[in-house]
Structure 1
Amino acid sequence: MSTAKHDGKVRGFQFSPWNLLLIVPLLILVTPLFNVDGPRLFGMPFFYWFQLAFVVVGVLSTWIVYVMTRDKPTADAADKLSVDDLDEGDAR
């Protein structure tokens, strides 16, 4: 997960359980789960209307993860540098 260095900055991967919801849109890649003709919806085979419905499910799950994790800080507040502290390279 994340590790704090001696300078107080947080680096590395920061896990949120909400990110597990992003696995749901990947289920559309498992074609044998829905590679069937029936049941039909308005004459459309299951294969097609399931994919169309899964677009909506994928967008909703991505939106939920975004909303639930957008306020989570990605680094410590002390990690923010002022303009004067930024490295502009060597001026040799």
Structure 2
Amino acid sequence: MDRNERTRRTRLWSNWYLLLLPTYAAVLWVPFFNRVEPTILGFPFFYAYQMIWVLISAVLTGIVFFATRQQ
């Protein structure tokens, strides 16, 4: 395997991408956050939970982006 092939494989997959999985798992598991109480800053838990995960996923996506970009 030459250097170009290794570089191409590195670009296709990295363990950093595993950081994106918690976002999908947390948001797709609806029975966990399908409730009104408790309210957070006046928002029902259902909406507050999703807004919090928007922020968390933005941070995780940024981390993965900067960790996997080519120098």
Shared fold (TM-score, shorter chain, > 0.5)? yes
- How far, CA to CA, are the matches of 2:21 and 2:9 in structure 1? 18
Residue of structure 2 in register with 1:88 after alignment? none
Q: How far is the alpha carbon of 1:65 from its aligned partner?
A: 0.2
One-letter code aligned to 2:28: L
Q: Pick the structure with greater CA Rg.
A: 1
| Structure 1: stretches of 5+ with no match in the other structure | 73-92
Identity value in percent:
35
Q: How far is the alpha carbon of 1:24 from its aligned partner?
A: 2.1
| Structure 2: stretches of 5+ with no match in the other structure | none
What is the number of residues matched between the two proteins?
A: 66
One-letter code aligned to 1:20: L
**Structure with the larger helix share:** 2
- How far, CA to CA, are the matches of 2:34 and 2:18 in structure 1? 25
Q: Deviations over 1:5-29 (max 9, x none)?
A: xxx3416643322110011221212
**Structure with the larger strand share:** 1
Matched, 1:64 2:59: no
- How do 1:24-39 residues align onto structure 2 when only pairs under 5 Å count? 24-27=22-25, 28-39=27-38
- How do 1:1-92 residues align onto structure 2 when only pairs under 5 Å count? 4=1, 8=2, 9-10=4-5, 13-14=9-10, 15-27=13-25, 28-71=27-70
